[in-house]
Chain A
């Protein structure tokens, strides 16, 4: 992939900053998301909470269903492929998807190798629970990173843990001497040049969103205050009592994440939040997929 393409793909993620990317399963949901102010939608057959409930192998969605969502909205459309499943990624590229999420929410297709994302023209976002994972995905060609969180639970604790972990590791690297960076790269199992970038800039070379378990405006504001540059909301919206209202509220919460007065207004009267599962109650830890 040309250097130029990589840069353009990082640039698209920059345009998504300060926004909310919503999981949708039908054109109708996609339109609700767009009207609520989503900056992009993630098209998938089943939202994570249902994937979790159904069990079994979870795969890339039917391209026909993805195309119907592309036709329904004018904002960017993303879709998920399985970790390591480069053929699914080729298919998503063929239908001109705007961003591919190589996602632990689906069943991994390869337990060693992630997709060599540098071979593709379309951009990829990948999950990470610490800085090493984030930098390895960026080396493979990811142009956007998100926390893994624990999808489909409505429990934000893992997203918080992953975001705090990444931020604290970055702060630690900023304070290192130059000769310590080589050892750090070795420990992180990540390329020296990327560790060096973090040292010099105090941030990842790509945009970093929060994902996994975000269910309320307060959750979104929490993740933004912890350093996320935007938020993915999966099951949290369309598994709630009033998806439209909740979607609007989360969009506004991400813009005004530092204003508790506005957040208080936004949190009022949203109807029932998704029921959720606590992290101790789940059998399958999706965040442990793909390292």
Chain B
């Protein structure tokens, strides 16, 4: 399986390492010409969503990526990646974001860095508790349509899925546990077949 990893800014190398440990291959998307390669899925990593949004548009990656996600290509967004995939942020629509998922996002929902935290929790479809690292994280305020909640922490939605789109407000790429990346690759394999 060949996974494209958006590498405009942020913690993309951490995702690539997780993929390699699971036997998948990856390549980085830094400009429009990188996008032409064959891919079975896309990861949008954590980082600063404002930085990534700006670069997606300026490097002419926005529409090509939005089109293929709408066309069904599996995508996994963590933290900033989740923000980019949401249709709304704090009650307003976000036309500059990819907006492919029916969800409203609350950005910097836990405040500044002092509000960052670690916990463990259940994710639907996964047998074991999953480590969850939240860094200046968002949470999901509201889901509608086909979007389904996969996990809640303290009453807030922190993981969700809509078709082939998987999102987490935390960073599975920062801990050793591979189960969420494995879940994503399972989505990718059923999409391929």
A residues engaging B (CB < 8 A)? 4, 7-9, 11-12, 14-19, 34-40, 70, 74-76, 93, 96-99, 121-123, 248, 251-252, 254-256, 259, 262
Write out the residue numbers on chain A whose beta carbons fall within 8 Å of the beta carbon of B113.
8-9, 12, 76, 96, 98-99, 122-123
- Select B51's contact among A39, A97, A256, beta carbons within 8 Å: A39
Write out the residue numbers on chain A whose beta carbons fall within 8 Å of the beta carbon of B171.
11
The answer on a CB contact under 8 Å between B9 and A11 is: no
**Measured CA separation A4–B133 after assembly (Å):** 10
Q: A37-B55, A96-B112, A248-B58 are in contact. Are A15 and B118 (CB under 8 A)?
A: no
Q: How far is the CB of B38 from chain A (nearest CB, A)?
A: 21
For chain B, which range describes its interface: under 10, 10 to 19, 20 to 34, or 35 or more residues?
35 or more
Selecting from B10-18, B63-71, B120-128, the interface stretch reads: B10-18
What would 29 A/B residue contacts be, using CB atoms closer than 8 Å? A11-B116, A12-B116, A12-B135, A15-B48, A15-B136, A16-B10, A16-B47, A17-B10, A17-B11, A18-B9, A19-B10, A19-B51, A34-B50, A37-B54, A37-B55, A40-B48, A74-B50, A74-B108, A75-B48, A76-B136, A98-B136, A122-B114, A251-B54, A252-B55, A255-B8, A255-B9, A255-B30, A255-B31, A259-B31
Asked if B153 is an interface residue, CB under 8 A from chain A, the answer is no
A-B contact count (CB 8 A): 112
Asked if B130 is an interface residue, CB under 8 A from chain A, the answer is no
- Select A251's contact among B31, B46, B51, B80, beta carbons within 8 Å: B51
**Measured CA separation A64–B108 after assembly (Å):** 21
Residue of A nearest to B107 (CB): A74
Q: A7-B118, A74-B107 are in contact. Are A35 and B48 (CB under 8 A)?
A: no
The answer on a CB contact under 8 Å between A18 and B8 is: yes
Not counting A11-B135, A14-B174, a sample of 12 additional A-B residue pairs whose C-beta atoms are within 8 angstroms of each other reads A7-B118, A8-B116, A12-B116, A15-B10, A15-B136, A17-B10, A18-B7, A19-B10, A36-B54, A96-B112, A255-B55, A256-B30
The answer on a CB contact under 8 Å between B136 and A39 is: no
Write out the residue numbers on chain A whose beta carbons fall within 8 Å of the beta carbon of B51.
19, 37-39, 75, 251
**Measured CA separation A40–B50 after assembly (Å):** 10
Contact with A along B1-30 (1 / 0, CB 8 A): 000000111111110000000000000001
